[in-house]
Structure 1
Amino acid sequence: MTVELISVGTELLLGNIVNTNANYLSKKCAELGLSLFYQITVGDNENRLIDTVKTAMSRSDIIILTGGLGPTQDDLTKEAVAKALGRKLVMDEHSRERILKYFDRISYDKQDNQIQKASAIASKALSKITDNNWKQALKIDDCFVIDNDNGTAPGYIIKENHKIIFLLPGPPSEMIPMFEQKMFPYLKETQQKVFISKMVKICGIGESRAETRILDLIEKQTNPTIAPYAKSGEVHFRITASADNENTAESMIQPLLKELMNRFGDNIYTTSEEETLEDVVVKLLQKQGLKLVTAESCTGGLLTGRIVNIPGASSVFTEGFITYSNESKMKYLGVDKKTLDQYGAVSEETATQMVKGAADTTGCEAALAITGIAGPDGGTKEKPIGLVYIGCYLKGIVTVREYRLRGNREKIREQSVIHALDLLRRCLMNMS
């Protein structure tokens, strides 16, 4: 089945907010084995939205719209879809009651450090609700209403001539729970086949090289299929199989998964959809009972941020140094001034002293250090922009790698973090 995503909101077109909903829904559609051919973003204009819905109906089996379900005049999604389908809007008493209870619940005011109820009577709560809020209690005639447990805008499922239309609220905090709890299971039941996916995540090898290694598999693929996804410093392969049941689909995936393991070896850091590179590193440190310290120059705390984002990182991570200047490298990490004068801040020698100094200062068994030239200025012929040295200290053994990275400042810094985490991962694996 084919699916089309329609993101509604002028703020998306203007770039005021990032469209994370489309990214999330695209992944979920892939999990379901749906063929996503179109992603459309349309502003808060009723006529353009009606045309967009009609076009989507003409070419897609499933249409998912996000946004435009609020109480204000520029929230037009429900109205536009109703007109595109030639249906009326009618009052949904269930939604009306939920809105009333919602406002009654939030009418508790915090005063004098005590929670006091502002109104105990529904009629009083009713007086606090402006007329435009009742707009959210209207539904498209002959549709399924999906309760919103995190806001006031319900979602909707509409069937029209063997097509299915989903209307979801725009805020991700409302959209994601609604989709996962109510609409994902609904879509899963519409599928005649069971779809199983496995994600293979790779680092330490570029996108073009990685794809070249599996070109023969891609060219002859039928079922299961394999699709590459490039990320900064990483390459992900999604293997998807369809079958009559989960066991059969799983068994179809295994030979292809084994082949990828043979071809990429320890470049593969996980086959879990949700697991990140920093997840893997933290788990390896926990398994070996090691403490980690970081020392960053050009990345300015990005590496440390990635690590502490992981729940439970406090069991292995002690502290991080941001030593952007030469003075700070000498003061906190004990880097020798002679080393900086002779070899420069961006050098194998400085990276070595940074990572050893971080370990010696804190007594940690593991340490990572990054020093480099992220640009856009500061590069020379001998030391161009993108030159980065990463040092890894592990139980007295120091490993330093030189990297020549490409891209803008942001990309170079992001890739540096990926390479640092990957270097530590490999060193930990070799020691285990």
Structure 2
Amino acid sequence: MTVEFISVGTEILLGNIVNTNAAYLSEQCAALGLSCYHQSVVGDNEERLEEAVRQALSRSDILILSGGLGPTKDDLTKEVVAKVFGKELYEDTHTKERIEAYFKRVRSEQVTPNNWKQAMVPEGAKVVDNHNGTAPGLIMEEDGKTAILLPGPPNEIKPMFERDIAPYLNRLQPEGIYSKMVKICSIGESKAETMVADLMDAQTNPTIAPYAKTGEVHFRVTAKAASPKEAKKLFAPLMDELFGRFGDKIYTTEEEVTLEAAIVSLLEDDKMTLTTAESCTGGLLAGRIMNVAGASNVYREGYITYSNDAKERLLGVKRETLMQYGAVSAQTAEEMARGAAKAAGADAALSVTGIAGPAGGTPEKPVGLVYVGCYVKGHVRVEEFHFTGNRDKNREFAVARALTLLREELIGRK
């Protein structure tokens, strides 16, 4: 089945907000095995929105619209879709009661008359309760076509999709759609995709699709099957093949497990502790680790040593090292890692020092040059990287490479 997305809102067209909903819906529907060939953004204009809805329904089985379900006059999604389907609007008592209850619960303001606009729903539509706002979702079906209307705020659309819409879409398929995520680090996107090119060329059921992440590559393996048990049988040969090709570069096959979570788990298994010493990343590395629930079991403390003085005073980096090699050097990264481990009394330490940009580079040490040091129980490994993004991207990639380096060293000890 084919699905198409229309994001509604002039503020998206003007660039006032980033259209994260489209990315989210695309990923979720791909995971459900739906094919998407078109997606668009339409401003708050009735004529243009109607044209876009009619065109989308003419070529796709399912149309998902996000946004335009609010209480104001420029929120037109529901009215336009009802017009296209030839349906009148009526006041839904259940939705009105939920809106009243919502305002009583938040007690932030009184219900204004325009809020009752959100209780008006098209005839025959299935109402999807909004547990995080006032605008309900709607499902409309007619002549083999389906339109799904969802609220715009991400904190409303995501829980609604996962709670109600994903199960609904799954039921539309003649077979169930099951998927597993294979997450890989220590290898680049191009090489990873080349290593599975033959599998992708020959795929039927299950299928494999690559997703590039910062410093990682993810493969989603999707199968159509009558039951989870049957899907597991379909998965098995392909999963064995992937493990045969990538080995321990696969750090998880669970959707919810992040690289930092996998690393925390490795440290816990080995009863090891960790510290970090950061210069150009300024705490981003520590933040990634502390995002993991239970990280306090392994993470001791961290050091942000942006200045040379801090590197000397907190980490014991030798002044001679800084004078001879500079703050951005393999030698400094090594001493930062050793010094952090000693200061924190930790078994492992990561250090990052580099030139994130946009200024500060020289011909000898250009912007994007980063050294990452990894200390594990007396052994230090330092890697040199040359990133080519902007300041934010360079810092993000430095953190990703640091985490990958630590995992490699922990795995290498086993």
| Superposed pair shares fold, TM > 0.5 | yes
Whichever residue aligns with residue 278 of structure 2, its letter is E
- Provide Cα deviations, 1:382-426, integer angstroms capped at 9, x if missing partner: 323222211111112211122222322222211111110011111
CA RMSD of aligned residues (A): 1.6
Q: CA 1:265–1:406 in 2, change beyond 3 Å: closer, same or farther? A: farther
Q: 2:345 aligns with which of 354, 359, 363?
A: 363
Instruction: Return 330-339 or 203-212, whichever deviates more.
Output: 203-212
Per the normalisation by structure 2, the TM-score is: 0.96
Q: How does 1:120-139 map to 2 (within 5 A)?
A: 128-139=110-121
Residue type of the alignment partner of 1:144: K
Distance 2:42 2:232 in 1: 39
Q: Is 1:287 aligned to 2:269, yes or no?
A: yes
Q: Do the aligned partners of residues 428 and 86 (structure 1) sit closer, same or farther apart at CA in structure 2, a change above 3 Å counting?
A: same
SS of structure 1 residue aligned to 2:327: coil
Which runs of 5 or more residues in structure 2 are unaligned? none
Deviation by residue 1:305-350 (Cα, 9 ceiling, x = unmatched): 1111111111111221111121111111111111011111111110
Q: For residues 114 and 138 of structure 2, what CA distance do their matches in structure 1 show?
A: 19
1:177 corresponds to which of 156, 159, 177: 159
Give the secondary structure class of the aligned counterpart of 1:306. helix
Residue matched to 1:144: 126
Which residue of structure 2 lines up, in the alignment, with residue 27 of structure 1? 27
Identity of matched residues, %: 60
> Which residue of the partner structure matches residue 196 of structure 1?
178
| 1:48-87 to 2 correspondences below 5 Å | 48-87=48-87
1:68 shift after superposition: 1.0
Structure 1 residue 108 displacement after superposition: 8.2
1:95 aligns to what SS in structure 2?
helix
132-141 or 198-207, which deviates more: 198-207
8 Å CA contact 1:195–1:246 kept in 2: the answer is: no
Aligned counterpart, 1:307: 289
**1:353 counterpart = 2:350:** no
TM-score between both structures, scaled by the size of structure 1: 0.92
- Residue 261 of structure 1 and its aligned partner are, at CA, apart by 1.2
Structure 1 distance, partners of 2:374, 2:263, is 13
Alignment-derived partner of residue 140 in structure 2? 158
1:115 counterpart residue number? none
Matched residues in 1 for 2:235 and 2:103: separation? Answer: 50
Partner of 2:210: 228
Runs (4 or more) in structure 1 with deviation over 4 Å come to none
Structure 1 gaps of 5+ residues are 110-127
The one-letter amino acid of 1:353's match is: E
Alignment match of 1:415 (pick from 388, 397, 410): 397
Q: 1:44 & 1:383 partners in 2: Cα distance?
A: 50
* Range with greater deviation from structure 2 (356-365 or 378-387): 378-387
Count of aligned pairs? 414
5 Å-filtered alignment, 1:108-119, equals: none
1:334-372 deviation per Cα after TM superposition (whole angstroms, max 9, x unaligned): 111110111111111101110011111111111100111
Give the Cα–Cα distance (whole angstroms) in 2 for the partners of residues 379 and 96 of structure 1: 60
Say which is worse superposed, 12-21 or 191-200, in terms of deviation.
Answer: 12-21
- 1:43 aligned residue: 43
